[in-house]
Amino acid sequence: MSAAADVAPVDEATPGDSGALARRARWSDAGLFAVLLALALLLALALASALLAVADASPATVFDAIIDGSLGSAPALATTLNHTSLILVVAAGTCIAFRAGMVNIGQEGQLSIGGLTATAVALGLPFAGPWAVVIILLAGAAGGAIWAVAPAFLRFRRGVSEVVTTLLLNFVAFQAVSYAVNQPRLLQEDVRADSVTAPSPQSNRLPDDDMLPALSSGTGYRLHVGIVIAVVLALAVGFLIRRTTLGFRLRVFGFNPRAARRLDVKPGVMGGGALIASAAFAGLAGAVLLTGVTMRLQGGFSSGVYGSFSNNFGWEGLVVALVATYDPVYAIPVGFLFGALRAGSGALTATGISPTIAAVVQALVLIAVTVPALLIVQRRRRREVQALRRERI
């Protein structure tokens, strides 16, 4: 059977050649990415400046104010880090879902429901203190998780895209929170005897002992331990995905569900589990928001993005996960960037500029950062698809 030697089959023309191909591909990817990213960021900056010019504001003043308001002082930095903790917890969870190929875009709702269950448990507990805080945080995670059960079921029993269901459930969640804080027999605050006004659509304040412990505090600021929780969770998820057998199977499932089926990976268990786990992270973020910042559940009638308890933290966490290419470790610096942007925009009010410019800047940064990254991923996928098809020449 040695006669094969003189046939020179195509795939053995030059040994190691495919490796060179891979290396070249990686380098051209990196170079292209850098160029695209620089271009995209410049374009985003130009667009933001143009918008500010339309509104008769000086871009330099605005950007100064944003930097000053996010990093310029101890209170500013504390606000940034508190924001970062929420965004990062959501992002770490989102990475789990996306790595398993599950497109969860229901973080806003899951976070809100997490806040709701955490509030209910906190106000129902007969005691307060450190143990109560732990229980409240777990209750938040459980609440978020419950909110993903229906999407997981519909996805794996009915074949309905989880994109649609998780999205729709956001709006249901906002209404559930709104309902709870508008019903005196549910979570609406008690009417105080000395009050002349009607009760607001918000819950009672949690006992002070249920507050998330502070790492540092001073006049006008309080940095809570959320940032530690968030970083530890992000690192843990990173370890889980990269270094454990469970993470290995999760990645196999995310990349190639057919191959995963042959590894005894049950799609419903792995995919549904990843979806529910990511929702639990969002729910946990809701509990951190509650015990770290607001100390009570609030929620208006709005069915839109603003005015909900989640206050856009869910979307931002999702965006951070996307920008970090679903890597929870990369999500740490990206989360910090978005936390800073958010804190800085809060400080804008003083300059007389509408703080909604922050939303614009965030969206532009998102597009500026994700489009190049996704283009690279897509280019690679296109090569894969074409490699697959080439086999059928």
What part of residues 100-129 is at the interface with another protein (CB under 8 A)?
103, 105
Least distance in angstroms from the C-beta of 117 to another protein: 17
Contact 164, 172 (CB under 8 A): no
Among 46, 134, 246, 350, binds another protein (CB under 8 A): 246
Strand partners, 214: 224
Burial code of 155-178, b = ≥16 C-beta within 10 A, e = fewer?
bbeeeeebeebbbebbeebbbbbb
Contact 141, 284 (CB under 8 A): yes
252 near another protein, judged by CB under 8 A:
yes
315 near another protein, judged by CB under 8 A:
yes
Contact 27, 35 (CB under 8 A): no
Among 304, 333, 349, 350, binds another protein (CB under 8 A): 304
State the DSSP code for 103: -
Q: Please tell me the total number of residues recorded for the chain in this structure.
A: 393
Query: Which CB atom, from 222 or from 249, has the smaller least distance to another protein?
Result: 249
Among 33, 63, 171, 221, binds another protein (CB under 8 A): 171
Least distance in angstroms from the C-beta of 246 to another protein: 6
Query: Which CB atom, from 129 or from 157, has the smaller least distance to another protein?
Result: 157
The values of phi and psi at residue 224, to 5°, are -95, 170
17 near another protein, judged by CB under 8 A:
yes
Q: For residue 6, give Cα distances in angstroms to 2, 9, 14, 15.
A: 9, 9, 14, 16
384 near another protein, judged by CB under 8 A:
yes
State the DSSP code for 39: H
| Kind and range of the H or E run holding 258 | helix 257-261
Query: Which CB atom, from 216 or from 378, has the smaller least distance to another protein?
Result: 378
185 near another protein, judged by CB under 8 A:
no
Of 70-78, 125-133, 286-294, 374-382, the window that binds another protein (rule: CB under 8 A) is 374-382
Question: Which residues in 332-361 contact another protein (CB under 8 A)?
Answer: 354, 356-361
Query: Which CB atom, from 148 or from 295, has the smaller least distance to another protein?
Result: 148
Among 61, 138, 146, 179, binds another protein (CB under 8 A): 179
Of 18-26, 131-139, 190-198, 211-219, the window that binds another protein (rule: CB under 8 A) is 18-26
Question: Rounded to an integer, what distance in angstroms lies between the CA atom of residue 296 and that of residue 280?
Answer: 20
Among 22, 34, 38, 191, binds another protein (CB under 8 A): 22
Binding mask 44-83 for another protein (x = CB under 8 A): -------x--xxx---------------------------
- The residue written with tokens 């009010």 in the block is 349
Q: Give 34's contacts (C-beta < 8 A, 6+ positions apart).
A: none
Helix (H, G, I), strand (E, B) or coil at 68: helix
Q: Tell me the angle at which helices 245-255 and 226-243 cross, rounded to the nearest 10 degrees.
A: 70
Question: Rounded to an integer, what distance in angstroms lies between the CA atom of residue 56 and that of residue 390?
Answer: 56
15 near another protein, judged by CB under 8 A:
yes
Query: Which CB atom, from 34 or from 134, has the smaller least distance to another protein?
Result: 34
160 near another protein, judged by CB under 8 A:
yes
- Three-state SS letters, 83-140: HHHHHHHHHHHHHHHHHCCCCCCCHHHHHHHHHHHHHHHHHHCCCCCHHHHHHHHHHH
Contact 281, 93 (CB under 8 A): yes
Least distance in angstroms from the C-beta of 261 to another protein: 5
Least distance in angstroms from the C-beta of 11 to another protein: 3
235 near another protein, judged by CB under 8 A:
no
25 near another protein, judged by CB under 8 A:
yes
Question: Rounded to an integer, what distance in angstroms lies between the CA atom of residue 349 and that of residue 57?
Answer: 13
Of 122-130, 131-139, 282-290, 372-380, the window that binds another protein (rule: CB under 8 A) is 372-380
